[in-house]
Structure formats: C-alpha cells, structure tokens
Amino acid sequence: MKLALTIAGSDSGGGAGIQADLKTFSAHGVYGMSVITSITAQNTMGVLGIEDISPDMVYLQMKTIFEDLYPDAVKIGMVSNEDIIKMVAKGLKDYNVKNIVLDPVMISKSGSYLLKPEAVEALKEELIPLSLVVTPNLMEAGELIGREIKSVYDMKEAAKRILDFGAKTVVVKGGHLTGDALDVFFDGKEFYEITSERIDTKNTHGTGCTFSSAIAANIALGYDLVESIKRAKSYITGAIKHSLAIGHGVGPTNHFWNIEIRKV
C-alpha cells in the first residue's frame, strides 16, 4: 500500500481541500493521511468563515505522520498565513521530505482569500524551493510573478519565473483560458503542453485541489512526474465531466467517477 499525505485546509462542504484530497487518494488506491492547517465553513455558495490551526499543532500533526506513516508523496494546499507556512517548511526539512506537490491556493471560486496577501512572499521563499512541482492556476501564477496572465506565452513566461523561485518544475494550469483546457509544464529545459477537452459545466469546485492531489497519488504509485501529471489531467477531466450538480452554487467534481459504485 502506497501512502500520500495532504497538508491543507478543511472544506466543510467536502468538495475541495482535505476532503477532496483524501477522496482523490482513495480513488487512486493510495492510503491518505492529513495535516489540517485551517478549518473553513463553506459550501457550494461560498466561504462563511476561516479559523487557522495553531502552528504548533500543525507541526505536531506532521510529526505523528512522519515518525510512523512516512508518505511516498505529499500534497500541500491551503497554508493561510506566514507562521503556518514557516512551520510546514520546518517540518518538511526536519523529516527530509521529498516528492512535494505544492498547490498555491490563494482565492476560492467564490472570491474569498485563503492565503493572506502578506504571506505570498513566505510561500515563495519557504515552500516553493522545497517543491518537486508547483501547480498554480492563471490567477495564482499571476499573483506569484506580479502580473496578469492572458495567453499561453504568458503561461510559459510565468513558469520560468516561478522556477527561478527554486521550484524543480512547474505546471501552470490554463483552465481559465478559452478553447481546449491547456496546461503548461516546464522542467527547466523543455515545455510540455498538456491538453484535454473543455467541459461545459459550472460544477468545478475543488478542481485545483483534486488535480494536485492526483499528481501526488500517481507519484506515490511510482509513476514519473510527467506521466503523473498526464494521468492527473485525465483524472480531473473525467471528474469534471461527471461533476455533481448538488447544492445551490458551484458544485464539486466527482472524485469517484472512475470507480463503479455499487448501489444497495
């Protein structure tokens, strides 16, 4: 049994964050574990509140995992403030953690800030250099490099800049462009354009969390990074295609679309 850890915030609505990550790990046949950094009160319509976990408790959760259930891959999502970011970085260094997938979660689909603006620099200085791959969407990549991203050319330039922050590789997700859903992967030497059909649905809550945790799951299973990204792209496309029209707002993706559910 392969193991994967998610370090992220809790989504009470179940579509993103820790809940989406654990579902994604399970859908890939990987044993999932969690370090909760924040608790959010949210549903398909928006985020009503956020309460951060103390940095010491974040570290204690990491300690319990790394000293007993050492993961084959780690996904990092919502780390909302500078103190938590620094504590997560300390834990990763203390336990010599590799295979880190960093999803720089900043703003929810409903417009709520999940990363305090003053913590962006800490994310760039503390966590990006530890990451095997960073997976920003267009808005997040724009925040990291300080300018808006409107084209594939801009995506490639952003990937170069983010690599300069110390990441080993970068995937800039182009889901907010038009046409096919195109992501740009850059390994420092070569660009890869990974495309899939664009699904016409509003139910895309948690897509970024799900994609990054799918990459981590595939790395844990032993696939190389490029193959892990391609497999994650295929998985998230299916999850969006079979997304769930539940709630009154932006519904979640279907994390178990690839598994036959036995109905009793």
Q: What is the per-residue pLDDT for 262?
A: 55
pLDDT tier at 207, thresholds 50, 70, 90: very high
More confident residue, 260 or 96: 96
Q: Answer yes or no: is pLDDT of 264 > 60.
A: no
Q: Enumerate the domain spans of the chain.
A: 3-130+204-241
Mean pLDDT of 133-147: 93
> What pLDDT, on the 0 to 100 scale, is given for residue 86?
97
At 174, the pLDDT band (50, 70, 90 cuts) reads confident
Phi, psi torsion values for 115, nearest 5 degrees: -130, 120
The per-residue pLDDT for range 58-111, each reduced to its tens digit, is 999 999 999 999 999 999 999 999 999 999 999 999 999 999 999 998 876 666
Give this prediction's pTM.
0.95
Q: Which long-range contacts (CB under 8 A, 24 or more apart) does 238-247 make?
A: 239/207, 239/210, 240/199, 240/201, 240/203, 240/204, 240/207, 241/199, 241/201, 243/199, 243/201, 243/203, 243/204, 244/203, 245/203, 246/44, 247/13, 247/43, 247/44, 247/45
90 assigned to active site: no
Known catalytic residue at 40: no
- Please say if 64 is a catalytic residue: no
208 noted as active-site residue: yes
β-strands 100-102, 169-173 pairing: unpaired
The average pLDDT across 183-200 equals: 92
* pLDDT for the residue numbered 96: 98
Q: Which pLDDT score, from 0 to 100, does residue 261 have?
A: 60
Calpha distance 172→149 (Å, rounded) = 10
Q: Which of 206, 210, 233, 237 is catalytic?
A: 206
Each residue of 213-237: pLDDT tens digit?
A: 999 999 999 999 999 999 999 999 9
Q: 32 has which bridge partners? A: 4
Residue 114 has pLDDT above 70, yes or no: yes
Across the chain, mean pLDDT equals 93
> pLDDT > 90: what percent of the chain?
84
207 is catalytic: yes
Q: Which of these is catalytic: 9, 77, 142, 208?
A: 208
pLDDT at residue 61, rounded to an integer = 98
| In the chain, % of residues over pLDDT 70 | 95
pLDDT number for residue 175: 72
Is residue 111 among the annotated active site residues? no
Superfamily per CATH, domain 3-130+204-241: Ribokinase (3.40.1190.20)
CB-CB contact of 206 with 252 (8 Å): yes
pLDDT at 176: 66
Write down the catalytic residue from 24, 44, 135, 204: 204
What number of other Cβ atoms are within 10 A of residue 177's Cβ? 17
